[in-house]
Chain A
């Protein structure tokens, strides 16, 4: 396991590791997170598959507060949230690539995979300027940096 430093302030944290029970039991945890979490830090919620089904308002609330979500089928589900920061150009380009993919291929990737790539790129590139991340999808590949 890579070495980490445990901190107590949400402002200083790169990663906040929690689960659905803690989020839903302590109401001020969520409001503190939304206010204090840095835009390049991520919230990792375990036990998310059943948790999100039982409490769908949780993700809706975070979404309206500017977070984007990816739900990964690892163990009982891992949801990762990060603050959305893309402009209209990014959104237009995404739709263009999605539409063209049906004509030229490759097939569009899953929503959660795409958002995980967004989260990973944002976290990585915010801390390592000039890094190149190569994403290979079928015969095509894209660079971002």
Chain B
């Protein structure tokens, strides 16, 4: 993966992990395998013509994660209906909508990280 793509993926990974575990309720081991798949896909996706900057493609990365969650449950249940309410709710959402929400969350986190701490302000 290019340095830029690696860094985009690494910054998004904690959110991907949380969403796969909490919203899609994947067991830890399966979540890890799905994360690896998403990482591999993204490493090739950023090489496609017209992909632009990796940073701008984070939305696509989150969409891919939602798609992966959806496909995981199709595989796991062989097409049978999902019983778990939490999973059903996650699967019922539009991937684009969920991706937008995750993107906003990530931006907020990054903003919070960049903001100087109050004690540093008083020190100076």
Is A bound to B? Answer: no
Residues of B at the A interface (CB closer than 8 Å) are none
Residues of A at the B interface (CB closer than 8 Å) are none
